[in-house]
Chain A
Amino acid sequence: MKTKTFIMFVGPSVFLMFLFIAAPLVSVFLQSFQVTQGVFEEVIETKCTPGFPAQICTEEASVRRVLDDDGNPVSQTSWVGLDTYRTVLDPDAVSAAFDEGGSGWSQLMTIDFYKALRFTLTFTLITLPLVIGTGLAIALAVNRCVESLKGPVIFVSLLPFIITPVIGALSIRWLFIGDGIMTALLENWTGQDIAMFAQGWTIELLMLFYRVWHVAPFAFVIFYAALQTVNQDTLESAIIDGASRWQRLKYVVIPHLMPLIIFVALIHLMDCYRVFEEIIGFSSQAHVISLQWLTFDYLTPDDSGNRAISRAAANSMLTMIGIVILLIPLLRRTYRDHKNSSH
């Protein structure tokens, strides 16, 4: 295919991606160094009240928003360098926390950004092995299943994956909220009064459960498809050599699945790092927040209708650093595949 034809085919797609992905990225990068504020002016008013023998006059200074000729408030954008990053990262509060007299870690966790970073990272790292393990176990189990049952089993397994994330989180939440049946069951077992939504760590447990429930089917489907292509000859020779079931799994099946395990892991890391819907579904913002939720929160108009765009931009840029680190292995893998396939 000639380059000209190629460009005609990919043109619309590339145009959309540049206009709506690349351009916004640049604009976010620039905005993170800027602050847009309303322009205010100080007005000195003389207020007089009737009095005797003369009026009593006081001069009051008040601050007012400057309006332009059409009556719209005037805003002004100024470059502030790294100031917004400083507001988000709050280095002074960090050093205060670890100085003498500061309470260290727990004080650090009162700053939104570190609170969100801590949760995002632990959440990502804990769910990863759980998702892969659960997905693999389901795939192996379904592979041994009776042929006629496979269809319905896959159907039910796909449901948690296909469901709207917010709704999925909500449906887990409704099982546990107040004296919901799962909470009642737990209370019965432990004999204690349990409130799942009163403290952070129980909410985090529910979130972990939700995420594994939601993503394990994806891992399952991919592993299951790959299990169909395991080399039967190798398996047979392993049996003849007297390999136990466990050894066959470890030395034949898992190595065969390895590229896909890495693929699932990378996709999962990428998606999990963007954790957001759980916070909405479990309404956990008072206890647990994530990096992407923090940006969302800055972008949501506050009580006076203002959006903290520049803080959102700075927070976005900081989030991106993590994404870049996560992407490096994936990019290297793709590059290697590309070089291998072109030879």
Chain B
Amino acid sequence: MSQAKVFQASTGLKVTVAVFLLFWLVVAAFPLFWVLVMSFKLPVDAFSASPLAVITGPETLAEKGGISILDMLLGAVAFYLVYQAVSHWTRGVAERVGFGFTPIGWILGSLIMGAAGLFVFVIILPIVTGAVNWAFGLIPGLSLLAQPVIGITLDHYIAVWFENEFYRNFLNSMTVTAGVVLISLTVGTLAGYGLARTPSSLAFWLLIMALIFRALPHSVLVTGYLPPFINSREILEPFLGDAAPTLYGQPLAVIVVLVSINQPFTIWMLRSFFQNIPAELDEAARVDGCGHFEAFWRVIMPVMWPGVITTGLFSFLLAYNDYLVTALLLDAQNQTMVPAITQYFNRETTTTDQVEAVAAAVSITAPLFLLVMVFQRQIVSGLTAGAVKG
């Protein structure tokens, strides 16, 4: 008890800490929150100088309709419930549907939770709010709560996703990220395991090389890729004949490039996860007659999945967030989401275009938001794993 008392802070300090923390939370979340709000308004409201007009959207309300206080309350409750469900149950769902094979479980589990969340927001919520609004509208004193007060429109999202065919960019992004995560984990776990289990100085020098490679600006590497990628048809023709491809603009080529750029980071991180697994475990397996590869696959990998998932998350972020490589190596047809949005706002001639760019930005951020929701613990452990081990 006395220890707790000694560590007790004075009131002044407590208030300072609370104020600072609150300030940081507002700074951290406000830009994202504001962009989200803007994306649902007509341009007049979205770029209004008065914050109140941006939030309530009077023009949007008058022209497109909006939501009532009740809708907001119910929406907040639904959001809280989904957040709790996702953060508590995803693990259980993942274990149940994974048939003991954890990564598949995590992917399926996340998809199931995502679909369930979507179901709640798109189908159940409108029905419930519709019914509640109708019921409150009948009660004389409370009907005000059911009146639409905040203007909201989905026009920009519809324009972005369907008229401007953003779904194509979304699919391209998904292809590239899925490819990068899969290949970099396959190649990376093998290398990470090898590096963690070898005391030789060869391994050390490889890691030093990887460290140097990690520091290289990506533009330097792209400078090296561009000429051979553009001319790859002529270069490869002697070997492959007519099947020689032009690598420029190929998603597959970009996947391999991103995997390679990502390798140094991946092997450092996976190596530090493998080092946490005691070497006695594979020695025991080897005594029982396993080969190196068998020991790796049957004994080490089953306890290694948390590390693999964490590394996979960071590979996902790298591929998903990349601008430089995809902008230079993919043509307009195969463009991923992030470069596509800049083309969008470069031609921002009208304010409608700008709000559409805002809606596209929110669309890109939404999956990342879900990712943090589900994998918060893994992301934190991944960040610290690299650091504490050095």
Q: Which A residues fall within an 8 A CB radius of B?
A: 1, 3, 5-6, 8-10, 12-14, 16-17, 19-25, 27-28, 31, 36, 134, 137-138, 140-142, 144-145, 151, 153-160, 162-168, 170-172, 174-175, 178-181, 184, 213, 217-218, 221-222, 225-226, 236, 239, 245, 259-260, 263-264, 270, 273-274, 276-277, 280, 283, 291-292, 295-296, 299-300, 307, 309, 312-313, 316, 319-320, 323, 326-327, 330-331, 333-335, 337-338, 342
A225 touches B263 (CB 8 A): no
A–B complex contacts, Cβ < 8 Å, 22 sampled:
A6-B202, A8-B194, A10-B194, A17-B264, A20-B225, A27-B224, A141-B17, A151-B376, A156-B25, A157-B25, A162-B379, A163-B32, A175-B34, A213-B27, A273-B217, A292-B219, A295-B222, A313-B223, A323-B217, A327-B212, A334-B207, A335-B208
Min CB distance B119 to A, Å, is 23
How many angstroms from the CA of A334 to the CA of B390 in the assembled complex?
8
Residues of A contacting B121 with CB < 8 Å? none
B217 touches A292 (CB 8 A): yes
A181 touches B51 (CB 8 A): yes
Known: A25-B224, A166-B338. A157 touches B191 (CB 8 A): no
A319 touches B361 (CB 8 A): no
A25 partner, pick from B200, B220, B226, B365, beta carbons under 8 A: B220
Interface pairs A-B: 3 shortest CB-CB: A24-B224, A9-B194, A20-B260
Number of interface residues of B (CB under 8 A): 100
Q: Which B residues fall within an 8 A CB radius of A?
A: 3, 6, 9, 13-14, 17, 20-21, 24-25, 27-29, 31-32, 34-35, 38, 47, 49-51, 54, 87, 187-188, 190-191, 193-195, 197-200, 202-204, 206-228, 256-257, 259-261, 263-264, 267, 292, 296, 317, 320-321, 323-324, 328, 338, 341-342, 345-346, 357-358, 361, 364-365, 368-369, 371-373, 376, 379-380, 383-384, 387-388, 390
B323 partner, pick from A9, A280, A330, beta carbons under 8 A: A280
Min CB distance B293 to A, Å, is 8
B50 touches A20 (CB 8 A): no
Residues of A contacting B292 with CB < 8 Å? 1, 5, 9
B388 touches A225 (CB 8 A): yes
B197 touches A1 (CB 8 A): yes
A296 touches B260 (CB 8 A): no
Known: A181-B49, A222-B384, A276-B324. A159 touches B390 (CB 8 A): no
Known: A163-B32, A316-B219, A316-B223. A158 touches B376 (CB 8 A): yes
Residues of A contacting B35 with CB < 8 Å? 170-171, 174
Min CB distance B211 to A, Å, is 6
Residues of A contacting B376 with CB < 8 Å? 151, 154-155, 158
A165 touches B323 (CB 8 A): yes
How many angstroms from the CA of A31 to the CA of B20 in the assembled complex?
52
Known: A20-B260, A276-B324. A13 touches B187 (CB 8 A): yes
Residues of A contacting B202 with CB < 8 Å? 3, 6
B32 touches A138 (CB 8 A): no
A13 partner, pick from B27, B212, B222, B267, beta carbons under 8 A: B267
B32 touches A16 (CB 8 A): no
A309 touches B226 (CB 8 A): yes
A158 touches B379 (CB 8 A): yes
A6 partner, pick from B194, B208, B215, B256, beta carbons under 8 A: B194
Which B-chain residue is minimally distant from A23 (CB atoms)?
A: B224
B47 partner, pick from A168, A179, A307, beta carbons under 8 A: A179
How many angstroms from the CA of A213 to the CA of B342 in the assembled complex?
21
How many angstroms from the CA of A295 to the CA of B188 in the assembled complex?
29
Min CB distance B65 to A, Å, is 24
B215 touches A225 (CB 8 A): no
Which A-chain residue is minimally distant from B213 (CB atoms)?
A: A21
Residues of B contacting A236 with CB < 8 Å? 3, 6
Residues of A contacting B383 with CB < 8 Å? 218, 221-222, 225
How many angstroms from the CA of A335 to the CA of B390 in the assembled complex?
11
B365 touches A175 (CB 8 A): no
Residues of B contacting A14 with CB < 8 Å? 191, 206
Known: A163-B32, A175-B31, A320-B216. A9 touches B372 (CB 8 A): no
Which B-chain residue is minimally distant from A232 (CB atoms)?
A: B3
A9 partner, pick from B191, B211, B224, B358, beta carbons under 8 A: B191
A163 touches B368 (CB 8 A): yes
How many angstroms from the CA of A307 to the CA of B225 in the assembled complex?
13
How many angstroms from the CA of A309 to the CA of B221 in the assembled complex?
12
How many angstroms from the CA of A170 to the CA of B337 in the assembled complex?
14
Min CB distance A71 to B, Å, is 15
How many angstroms from the CA of A166 to the CA of B361 in the assembled complex?
9
How many angstroms from the CA of A154 to the CA of B383 in the assembled complex?
13
Residues of B contacting A163 with CB < 8 Å? 32, 365, 368
A171 touches B212 (CB 8 A): no
A316 touches B259 (CB 8 A): no
How many angstroms from the CA of A24 to the CA of B228 in the assembled complex?
10
Which B-chain residue is minimally distant from A160 (CB atoms)?
A: B28
Which B-chain residue is minimally distant from A188 (CB atoms)?
A: B49
A174 partner, pick from B6, B25, B260, B358, beta carbons under 8 A: B358
B38 touches A174 (CB 8 A): yes
Min CB distance B40 to A, Å, is 14
Min CB distance A140 to B, Å, is 8
Residues of A contacting B211 with CB < 8 Å? 327, 330-331, 334
How many angstroms from the CA of A292 to the CA of B343 in the assembled complex?
19
Highest count of chain A CB atoms <10 Å: which of B17, B212, B217, B384: B217
